[in-house]
Amino acid sequence: MTDGTGVDYGDAPSPVRIARLWWVVSAACALLLVVLLAAVIVYREANKPFGFEVEWMGELVEARAPVWTVPALAFNWIGGGTGSLVVVPAVIIAGLLLWRRPWAALYYVCAAVASVTVVVVIKNVVGRPRPTDILVTPDFGSFPSGHSANAALIATTLGIIFARTWVWAAGSVYTVLMMLSRTYLGAHWISDTIGGMLVGFGVAVMVWAPFAFRLYRERRLPHPPIWVAIPRSGGGDSGTSTV
């Protein structure tokens, strides 16, 4: 069995082949929801926020305190600017390569670039104004949240790569905290963070489709760090002799 890329899926278990289908469908639905949400926002008068978003923002502004602001600013750095464009990707890519996962590293890079591209395009199309009670210096456009998209993309890509429940759980918590920090800092409305989360998830899974079987096979291989030699199987001649 092969897909459009010519990769043979003949020895893949049926759950892997089935997963490829419903994951892609899920991603398509997520991106469709982003488009619909963007359309609703655009067609509202002057891109005004929803009533519940204004109330939520007011509650957060009143609750601001150093104990919440400091971690929120840390999330702001991790999820944007130098943190999201250089430091975090470098750590993820280096870790994957050091532990012998080149296909996983390539998948993450492709997904991250695609997610940033989608976010920038939608921001330019929608042109939603930022909230006024903002504690950080933002870039252009409020919808969708780039920080939330980046968090969801990291959570989804690492969840797919490692296929461990705890990775998915940790990624989900990280994404939710990032979304909360964006509204707490006044950088985004709630719908901006939801749209960003859907973009990150949707792009990660759609980019995953052509990598699915390669990642599956790579995950089954031993992954000691590159400075640890992998023992050869078969007991053949190692190229040295003893006397």
8-61 residue pLDDT tens: 444 555 545 655 666 677 777 777 888 877 777 776 666 777 888 888 888 888
Q: pLDDT at position 9, please?
A: 46
Residue 226: φ, ψ to 5°:
-65, -20
pLDDT-flagged residues of the chain (< 70): 1-23, 43-46, 223-226, 228-243
Q: Identify the pLDDT of residue 232.
A: 64
Q: Is the dihedral of CA 43, 131, 84, 20 positive or negative?
A: negative
Q: What tokens appear for 38 in the block?
A: 């963007």
Say what the pLDDT of residue 225 is: 64
Sequence ranges of the domains in the chain: 14-220
Quick one: CA dihedral 228, 107, 183, 141, positive or negative? positive
CA distance 180 to 178: 5
Rounded Cα distance between 23 and 116, Å, is 21
